[in-house]
């Protein structure tokens, strides 16, 4: 097979893998607080970073998702990830925009709400080797949503 045909075949395979990644992300992300995701689209040395943590390796990545499900069931009566968009934004990058909203298991009625973006970086085979989450506010601002309004108002006066 001539070099140009091999190159075209590789590019076709790469784009097919990216489309598969996008479809899997669209399927996996909305119910991530309820069921596990597919790990076939990630490299074994995946790096995950969010505003609080950084983890390396597929085993650690699995623990991140297990922890999300565990804590969602433990601390929330309702929690959801609303997926707004998943698309290829660069040759080697997929982005997902989402919102997390939920109701905490606390005596006072408190809710959590924040928007975020997941950037997935792709290797030469189209597999995800890096996942970076960003949020629309600092982690402390997200955590302040857990406090009752009276405590929030008191803290604002200090």
Residue holding tokens 């973006």?
117
User: Model's pTM, two decimal places?
Assistant: 0.85
Q: How far apart are CA 14 and CA 92, in angstroms?
A: 10
Give the pLDDT score at 150.
Answer: 46
| The three-state (H, E, C) secondary structure of 91-141, written as one string | CCEEEEEEEEEEEECCCCCCEEEEEEEEEEEECCCCCEEEEEEEECCCHHH
Q: How far apart are CA 43 and CA 35, in angstroms?
A: 21
10-residue mean pLDDT profile of the chain (158 residues): values are 66 92 98 96 97 95 96 94 97 97 85 93 97 89 65 52
- CB count, 10 Å around CB of 37? 19
Cα–Cα nearest to 123, from 10, 30, 28, 24: 10
- CB count, 10 Å around CB of 43? 17
Tokens of 123: 């290797």
Give the pLDDT score at 80.
Answer: 97
Cα–Cα nearest to 115, from 87, 95, 135, 129: 135
């Amino acid at each position: 097979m001539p070099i140009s045909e091999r190159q075209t075949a590789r590019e076709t395979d790469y784009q097919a893998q990216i489309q598969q990644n996008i479809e899997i992300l669209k399927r996996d992300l909305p119910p991530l607080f309820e069921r596990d995701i597919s790990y076939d689209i990630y490299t074994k040395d995946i790096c995950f970073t969010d505003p609080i943590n950084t983890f390396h390796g597929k085993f650690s990545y699995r623990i991140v998702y297990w922890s999300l499900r565990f804590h969602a069931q433990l601390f929330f009566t309702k929690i959801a990830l609303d997926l707004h968009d998943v698309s290829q934004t660069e040759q080697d990058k997929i982005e997902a925009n989402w919102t997390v909203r939920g109701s905490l298991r606390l005596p006072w009625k408190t809710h959590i709400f924040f928007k975020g973006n997941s950037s997935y970086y792709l290797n030469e085979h189209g597999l995800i080797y890096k996942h970076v989450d960003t949020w629309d506010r600092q982690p402390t601002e997200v955590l302040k949503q857990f406090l009752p309004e009276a405590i929030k108002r008191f803290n604002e006066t200090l």
